[in-house]
Every structure is written in C-alpha cells, then in structure tokens.
C-alpha cells in the first residue's frame, strides 16, 4: 500500500540470490477489468516511480512522498507519511538503493569549519557551498563517512552484526536517532587541539562510512555507476611521488602487454594508496609461490580487516567504465566466503594475514574490497558483498 492505493510487484524482486528467478522491477495495479496493468517501476536507486511521475521512498513498512529539489539537486521528503517531519533532504545510505537524511549543514557551521581546519582548509571560511565548492564537497563527504563510522563503531548491535548487514542497520539508526554530531564535535576538538581521541571514539577509516555494493546474480559490478556515487567508492586524491612512479611502471607494462607484471604493479598501486592513508599490509594469505590467494590483506586504522582483489576495467564504446566480473574456481567464485575458506586452507596458517582473516571471517567481520583500475590508471575502490553467488 502506498497511501490508500494498492500496488503489486514480483514476489522475487529484491532477492539477490541466484537461487530464485530474476524479477523485473515493475509495479502493477488492478485495472477496470480486474486484470493487472502497468503502474510504474522501482528505480535502481530504490525509489518507487509511478507512471504519473509521483515518487515514493520506502521507509520501514510504509512510504514517504519525495520530490526532486532543483536548488539542492537532491531528492527531498515532502510528505513523511507518519515517519517524522517533512521537508527532509535525503541522500544515498548504506547501499545504492537505500536513503538517509542529509546532514543538517545549515545548523552545523561551527562543526563544518572545524573539519575544514582539520583537513587543511582553515582559510576556507563562510557559508557552506555544496553546489560549487569542491572543498566543501570533500569536507561534507569526510563528515558523512565519519558520522556513519561512529554509529557502526559505538552501537554494540551494529558493531557485532555481519558486515553485509551493517549498512542497513546504520541507515535505520540514523532515521530513528539522527547523526551523532556531538561525538564528531568531540573528535574534532581533540584533533584541533592535538589531544588523544575521546575514549570509545574510532580513528577515521573511509571504508567504514561507505555503502556496500552487492554483485549481480552473475557476479558483476557496474563500475561506471559506482564511480559516479561518492558514497560508494573510496575518496580519490592527488597521487604521491611513490604512486606516480608506480603508475609510470604500470603504463610501461601496459604498453608492452606484459600482463603478469602489469597485474603485480596494479596491486602495488593499491598498496601504496592505502598504506599512505594509514592502512597496514598484513603478510600472507597466498599460495602457489604467491601467485594465488588474496591480492592484499589490510588492517584499517580502527582495526578492521580487509581483503582486496585488484582488477582492470575497460571502457565501453560510449566512453563509460565497463563492468567487472570476479572469476570462479571449480567450487567457488572469487571473494565469496567459500573462496576465502579455500584460500585459507591452501595458504600457510601461521601468517599474520591468515590468522586475522580467519578470525574476522569467523566473527562475520571480514570486509571485502574490489579495486578496478581504468585504462588511464584511475583507481576505483569499493566495498563488496558477494552473497548472491556464494552457494
């Protein structure tokens, strides 16, 4: 039910498992003759669009009316339908098809300025301009990610939940309780005054605030769509001198069609990016002379464990990034839990990587990253969920 109107959809829609048939995202209503007629569709972003161009956001067991705000270039709740106050700007949450309230930047001028100062933009003052200022967009993204990380870190039920469920739980918390601005303010105060972080507060980890992308039933990821959504991919930055050197070697191996060496340098580029950003490489997790297994294993700044698979991605004839597919073995597909267990069984069990990955997997706390490198050397990193192909 959307308001007082009844609509129907395929019962299998939204079930990512490869064990059920594909379901088209169509909405139907009952026509004058008692038969089902087309009434709309469910968009890729999770909004329900009716044929008369009305849009609705599913929240809990009900729906809110949403319109596109041309001033903010964002969707906005205009009728909360019993789910809180209206006129709420919304943005992507913990997945490409989920939504949460936007940060209340008009009420956070002091906090926003503190983050500007911390990130090296003390000279950038005045009103927040998310439409035209790349600095303010970057600061907003940092705040958004850190606030989501604080929720996931400080709420015991979310912290212990399986990785694939954390995003939805964080979204639900935000709808119920709002953002923990006071916690972020205490962290910023400590950082500005060069003091230790307040007890119980996490060190910033950009991945922890990102949404998670679930693969298709064929194990594919639409890199073009992911690269366009800041909430889905690791923040880009200017390359360091080490990264520039690696990129030059990578380009040489690409031109020489030395694919084996090109793949090795590709992995090294991701290692350089993340280690310079505060992540630690954990040795091990490979077998067959180091040619098989995990491309890299990292420990994040707040202690989370990540495995990384580094790939290359081409461009489509229209100039967009293509999709990336993870390969499979005879019994499992790369980056599934089944495959992780297979790698652990074949690699040395006493390495630091094997121990930490095994422990994280057992607790449901292993995060999986996919890195897709474009033909011009751009690194696109994002968190993935392989459950649709993990049988």
Task: For residue 368, give both structure tokens.
Answer: 């999986």
Residue 374 DSSP SS3: coil
Percent of the chain with pLDDT over 90: 82
pLDDT tens sequence across 243-281 = 999 999 999 999 999 999 999 999 999 999 999 999 999
Structure confidence at residue 86 (pLDDT) = 62
109-118 vs 134-154: helix crossing angle, rounded to 10: 100
Residues 6+ apart with CB under 8 A from 40: 7, 26, 27, 48, 49, 50, 51
Q: Is residue 207 within 8 Å of residue 304, measured between CB atoms?
A: yes
In this prediction, residue 346 carries a pLDDT of 95
Tokens of 217: 């039933």
Mean of the per-residue pLDDT values of the chain: 93
Q: What is the pLDDT of residues 155-184, one digit of tens each?
A: 999 999 999 999 999 999 999 999 999 999
Rg of the chain over all Cα atoms, to the nearest angstrom = 22
> Which one has a higher pLDDT value, 223 or 329?
223
Q: Is the pLDDT of residue 18 over 70?
A: no
If pLDDT is split at 50, 70 and 90, which confidence band does 85 have? Answer: low
- Dihedral angle, C-alpha 197, 199, 200, 204, nearest 10 °: 0
Please give the pLDDT value at position 242.
98
Average of pLDDT values for 363-369? 99
Tokens 């080490």 -> residue? 242
Place of tokens 């067991």: 61
Average pLDDT of the segment spanning 303-329: 94
Whether 150 contacts 180, CB under 8 Å:
yes
pTM equals 0.92
Q: Check pLDDT > 60 for residue 50.
A: yes
Q: Model confidence over 283-310: pLDDT tens digits?
A: 999 998 777 999 999 999 999 999 999 9
Q: Is pLDDT of 17 > 80?
A: no
The mean per-residue pLDDT over the stretch 125-149 comes to 96
């Amino acid at each position: 039910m959307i308001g007082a109107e009844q609509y129907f959809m395929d019962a299998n829609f939204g079930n990512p498992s490869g064990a059920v048939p594909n379901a088209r995202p169509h909405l139907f209503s009952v026509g004058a003759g008692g038969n089902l007629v087309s009434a709309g569709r469910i968009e890729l972003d999770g909004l329900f669009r009716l044929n008369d161009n009305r849009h609705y956001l599913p929240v809990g067991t009900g729906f809110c009316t949403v319109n596109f705000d041309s001033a903010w270039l964002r969707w906005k709740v205009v009728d909360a339908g019993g789910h809180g106050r209206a006129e709420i700007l919304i943005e992507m949450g913990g997945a490409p098809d989920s939504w949460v309230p936007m940060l209340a930047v008009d009420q956070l001028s002091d906090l926003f300025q503190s983050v500007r100062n911390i990130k090296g933009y003390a000279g950038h003052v005045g009103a927040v301009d998310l439409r035209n200022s790349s600095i303010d967009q970057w600061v907003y993204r940092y705040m958004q990610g850190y606030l989501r990380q604080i929720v996931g870190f400080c709420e015991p039920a979310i912290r212990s939940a399986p990785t694939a469920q954390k995003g939805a739980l964080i979204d639900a918390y935000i709808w119920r309780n709002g953002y923990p601005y006071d916690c972020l303010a205490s962290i910023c105060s400590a950082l500005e005054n060069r003091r230790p972080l307040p007890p119980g507060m996490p060190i910033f980890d950009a991945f922890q605030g990102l949404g998670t992308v679930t693969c298709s039933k064929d194990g594919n990821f639409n890199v073009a769509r992911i690269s366009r959504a800041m909430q889905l991919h690791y923040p880009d930055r200017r390359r360091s001198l080490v990264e520039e050197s690696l990129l030059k070697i990578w380009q040489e191996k690409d031109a020489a069609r030395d694919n084996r060496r090109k793949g090795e340098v590709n992995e090294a580029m991701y290692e350089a990016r993340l280690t310079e950003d505060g992540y630690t490489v954990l040795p091990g997790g490979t077998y067959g002379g180091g040619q098989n297994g995990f491309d890299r294993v990292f420990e994040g700044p707040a202690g989370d464990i990540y495995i990384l698979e580094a790939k290359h991605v081409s461009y489509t004839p229209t100039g967009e990034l293509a999709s990336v597919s993870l390969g499979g073995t005879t019994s499992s597909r790369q980056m599934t839990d089944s495959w992780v267990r297979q790698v652990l069984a074949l690699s040395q069990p006493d390495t630091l990587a094997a121990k930490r990955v095994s422990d994280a997997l057992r607790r449901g706390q292993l995060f999986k990253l996919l890195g897709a490198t474009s033909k011009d050397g751009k690194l696109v990193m994002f968190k993935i969920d392989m459950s649709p192909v993990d049988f």
